[in-house]
Structure 1
């Protein structure tokens, strides 16, 4: 399928609305010295992708600034794969396939630096507004265990499982703040799945895990066997108070967080906001005064910095990749993949996700 170059930009005030921006001149212009051109092949659209948009809009982390857009519009970043179709960089060859943070667009220019056998960092000025982790690209031929047929699952779970891995690492580093129970909201989200999976695998019998989800997703979440118990949001009042309990809010639903704090009060030593899968409820990370520890924004980049300082980036990624292997084997039985090709189909899929019409079991792949 031949497609004219374009970028699909979202309305900053309503992500359901999109504009197709012609990118023909952008693609046809000569590369500057040291630049490369990447043809975006496939992207994963997840709840985390949408959370990047809301976090960027709220100014928590400037995800929406790394691919500058026309005033009033935003270019949503997603994790995915692309191929280098032109190179004016002496150390990067055409035809190389890369994995990393990409816009919903057919093409993107990059300025590689810190090139190694495993990948490079895009050092364009606009990329400096986010932590370095988001600017790093891996050469697929150098990825241990890489298999092209697993790309869709890798895109869906690798960045989200990375967050799951970092959440577990944070808990371990802080001795779970003395808690013996963890409650995770939006338990059907892939970030929450991975977190529950890791907790049950490494701390089963020591740390109790409770997954909160909607009634419609409850049976699916139970089938994952990632949590010790699964409750609907309407059943928060049934959670017994007594033991120290951590809260990780993946939903970003202030009403649910309030209900948990009112129910558990001063037995909450830590309450972290991780994402916002409930996009239509309140502002990202905003809660009023509540009993227990004050809800705060949990920062994955901060934990990345801790691990890099402790073990280095390479060792961190190796540990993360090893931890993800088992999850991906299990995830093949959890997920039903769908593919949307072209800007019209992609726009419809984004709207469906924002409107809550994407099932928890569906893995959404975009093909610009």
Structure 2
């Protein structure tokens, strides 16, 4: 029996748990027991942009009544163990890291199998970006460490996006904001979110820019404690920066009113990019704004460019070096950035979803979930 957690696509606070009997595997398929997965504001972004960015297509809801199309499964990153196999290249007991449904089990169709892992070759995923279809064997994954498995699920996909944002901005010379002997200002909204502070942790290493975090009053102290922001301001303190500040806006919140305020205030805003939508109740488009038109940042595009520039080995080496340095910061025993909480079972998963969706939880807490 497979237990699956579903949300209404047009009303993310409305959820249900569905149980379905397992069907026999087709030749070439495997059944994976999903042991644990992370749940962060990044997953809320997947849901908020589910239609626009095709996130609902990874794990489509099986038809069950007239309203099946109204429901979706939020993709998550985590770990699973092969429970049953009809695939010669994948063995029972193989531990995998990858992209899963919020469910107790998943059926995959391994393709392009290698010692390192495989792609899910299911037909409905063929047109979706391969970065999300890749499953890694933990036994040979250079980034895997069983001692920090929850932190890897919580931070690894977010870190990759953050690392690519930093690289993209540097690759574009910070859009000319660091000219004339002054440092360009990188404005990061939702500064307490894991993707935002992972981005700040990369940017702060670049002397040519200043990193300013924007957050709610309750999260100022947390953001300041990380040591990766030059300054932390609340959303209503934009006036503390001069109107002619050469800056780039990196938007993790998706808050339409905040975006409009930033575009209206800063006359030297050089670039505006949208990363996520943590403020799901205040999402808005980018029309009728002063300054540059907001651009949606798509991490796989920058990854593809750098694979071309550096080759796969060069890309992986650079990323792994940065990841291990970041994880050491996060996991400092004297002042850890993340405290892991585990939530097991459908009721606990529903409660964690409501907490993360509401954006009111402790930013230092990392939620690890299991439907088992």
CA distance in 1, matches of 2:137, 2:69: 33
| 1:53 matches 2:47 | yes
CA distance in 2, matches of 1:357, 1:188: 11
CA distance in 2, matches of 1:353, 1:86: 33
Query: Offset at 1:90?
Result: 1.2
Q: Report the equivalent of 1:177.
A: 175
**8 Å CA contact 1:16, 1:347 repeated in 2:** no
| 1:11 matches 2:12 | no
Q: Could you list the per-position Cα deviations for residues 9-64 of structure 1 after superposition, in whole angstroms to 9, with x for gaps in the alignment?
A: 1112212222222122xx2x22111111111000000100110111113x1x1011
| 1:290 matches 2:289 | yes
CA distance in 1, matches of 2:165, 2:141: 24
| 1:66 matches 2:70 | no
| 2:339 corresponds to which of 336, 341, 358 | 336
Q: Report the equivalent of 1:101.
A: 99
Unaligned runs of 5+ in 2: 62-67, 178-183
**8 Å CA contact 2:201, 2:326 repeated in 1:** yes
Q: Report the equivalent of 1:42.
A: 36
CA distance in 1, matches of 2:282, 2:127: 27
Query: Offset at 1:257?
Result: 1.0
Does the residue aligned with 2:119 lie in a helix, a strand or coil? strand
Q: Using the TM superposition, name which of 113-122 and 235-244 deviates more.
A: 235-244
Corresponding residue pairs, total:
355
| 1:226 corresponds to which of 225, 228, 247 | 228
| 1:32 matches 2:35 | no
CA distance in 1, matches of 2:189, 2:145: 32
Q: Could you list the per-position Cα deviations for residues 66-114 of structure 1 after superposition, in whole angstroms to 9, with x for gaps in the alignment?
A: 1011321000001000001111111111100000110110111101111
Q: Report the equivalent of 2:119.
A: 121
CA distance in 1, matches of 2:35, 2:289: 46
CA distance in 2, matches of 1:351, 1:315: 40
Q: Report the equivalent of 1:247.
A: 249
Compute the TM-score of the two structures, normalised by the length of structure 2.
0.92
Specify which structure has the higher proportion of helix.
Answer: 1
Does the residue aligned with 1:241 lie in a helix, a strand or coil? coil
CA distance in 2, matches of 1:351, 1:342: 15
Does the residue aligned with 1:156 lie in a helix, a strand or coil? helix
CA distance in 1, matches of 2:137, 2:313: 14
Query: Offset at 1:146?
Result: 2.3
**8 Å CA contact 1:66, 1:129 repeated in 2:** no
CA distance in 1, matches of 2:191, 2:141: 30
Does the residue aligned with 2:69 lie in a helix, a strand or coil? coil
* Matches for 1:205-354 after TM superposition, within 5 Å: 206-265=208-267, 267-283=268-284, 286-332=285-331, 333-354=336-357
CA distance in 2, matches of 1:92, 1:319: 29
Q: Report the equivalent of 2:195.
A: 191
Unaligned runs of 5+ in 1: none
Does the residue aligned with 1:48 lie in a helix, a strand or coil? helix
CA distance in 1, matches of 2:346, 2:311: 39
CA distance in 2, matches of 1:55, 1:358: 22
Query: Offset at 1:145?
Result: 5.0
Does the residue aligned with 1:101 lie in a helix, a strand or coil? strand
Query: Offset at 1:311?
Result: 2.4
Query: Offset at 1:318?
Result: 2.9
Query: Offset at 1:347?
Result: 0.6
Provide closer, same or farther for how the CA distance between residues 223 and 259 of structure 1 changes in structure 2, counting only shifts above 3 A.
same
